[in-house]
Amino acid sequence: MIDPNAPGFWEGLFQVLLAGTGQTLYMVGVALLVTVIVGLPIGVILVGTEAGGVFERPFGSRAVGVVINRVLDFIVNLGRSVPFIILMVALIPFTRLVVGTFIGSTAAIVPLSVVAIPFFARMVEISIKEVDSGLIEAADSLGATRWHVVSKVQVPEALSSIILGLSTTVTSIINFSAMVGTVAGGGLGDVAIRYGYQRYSVIHMTAVIIITFVIVMILQAVATYFARRFARRSVDISRVDATNRSLFRSIRTRA
């Protein structure tokens, strides 16, 4: 039991929360970076290797395309269906191989990325599928290569939607990042477990909830802002939920 009236309590709380927030942002930030770098190409390839896609015939063979598509699709489904807590434990040997240890915030980045990549890849896939096939045809008629189609048409046209998908992905990374606290991954989840749960500190628990909430809201607002900026179509904001929109408006009017 922690006594909030003990000398140095508030200073200690502040230190603990600062460290926890720092670790969470570090884990989430790096995991997000890895997720985008790996997930974006997977999403692009998932769409491309479908029948009629840009990578329909890699190395001149439709069979190769089908195999790539099926394998990626399977991995993505697998990654999305295994509960995180199990995935985290199951990945320990792999984490140790990559980072050298499976304890701490840096080690937590591995399972966080592994769980977020399939999630984001699916988001990218859905976003790119929404791009009008006529645009690809237009690029083809101008003599575009497959790389041109991806880099000049598919990704830029889907960007607004991809950013919204990314914001959903970050939210779930933050969500999972709290869970790594249970296996000594550090971060706000760790604070909540060690102080809030094990030592019954309601103040710590409340503070963690508020900080997490604020982080998620800020990220959502930023994502919505950029999604809007890149949405040049007249109506494409339907995917942003009402909460985000009102939040975005209140931030903008204050600014």
Partner 1 sequence: MIQLQHVSRSFGRADNPVRALDDVSLDVAAGEIFGVVGQSGAGKSTLIRTVNMLERPDSGSVHVAGRTLTDLSVSELRAARRSIGMIFQHFNLLSSRTVRGNVELGLEIAGVDSKERSRRSSEILDLVGLSDKSGSYPSQLSGGQKQRVGIARALASKPDVLLSDEATSALDPETTRSILELVKTINAELGLTVLLITHEMDVVKTICSSAALLEQGRIVETGRLVDLISRPGSRLARDLFPLGPVAPRSGGTVIDITFSGGTADRPVISQLARTHGLDVSILGAVIETIGGSQAGRTRLELPGSPEANAAAIADLRSRDLLVEVVE
> 50, 56, 73, 140: which one contacts partner 1 (CB under 8 A)?
140
Residue closer to partner 1 by CB (options 152, 194) is 152
Binding partner 1 (rule: CB under 8 A), the pick from 86, 134, 254, 255 is: 134
Q: Does 239 participate in binding partner 1 (rule CB under 8 A)?
A: no
Among 230, 240, 244, 248, binds partner 1 (CB under 8 A): 230
Cα–Cα dist 187/19, whole Å: 7
Contact residue for partner 1 among 142, 198, 254, 255 (CB under 8 A): 142
CA 111 from chain centre, in angstroms, equals 12
Q: Does 124 sit near partner 1 (CB under 8 A)?
A: no
Task: Pick the closer one to partner 1 by CB: 132 or 241.
Answer: 132
Query: Using CB under 8 A, which of 34, 73, 126, 152 touches partner 1?
Result: 152
Tokens of 165: 């998908």
Residue 183 CA: distances (Å) to CA of 92, 103, 202: 11, 7, 22
Q: How many CA atoms lie within 13 Å of 99's alpha carbon, on the beta-carbon side?
A: 17
Answer for which of 144, 183, 217, 222 binds partner 1 (CB under 8 A) is 144
Residue by residue, DSSP assigns 13-74 as: HHHHHHHHHHHHHHHHHHHHHHHHHHHHHHHHHHHHTSTTSTTSSGGG-HHHHHHHHHHHHH
141 forms part of the interface with partner 1 (CB under 8 A): yes
> What does the binding site for partner 1 look like in residue numbers (CB under 8 A)?
132, 134-135, 137-145, 148, 152-153, 156-157, 159, 230, 232-234
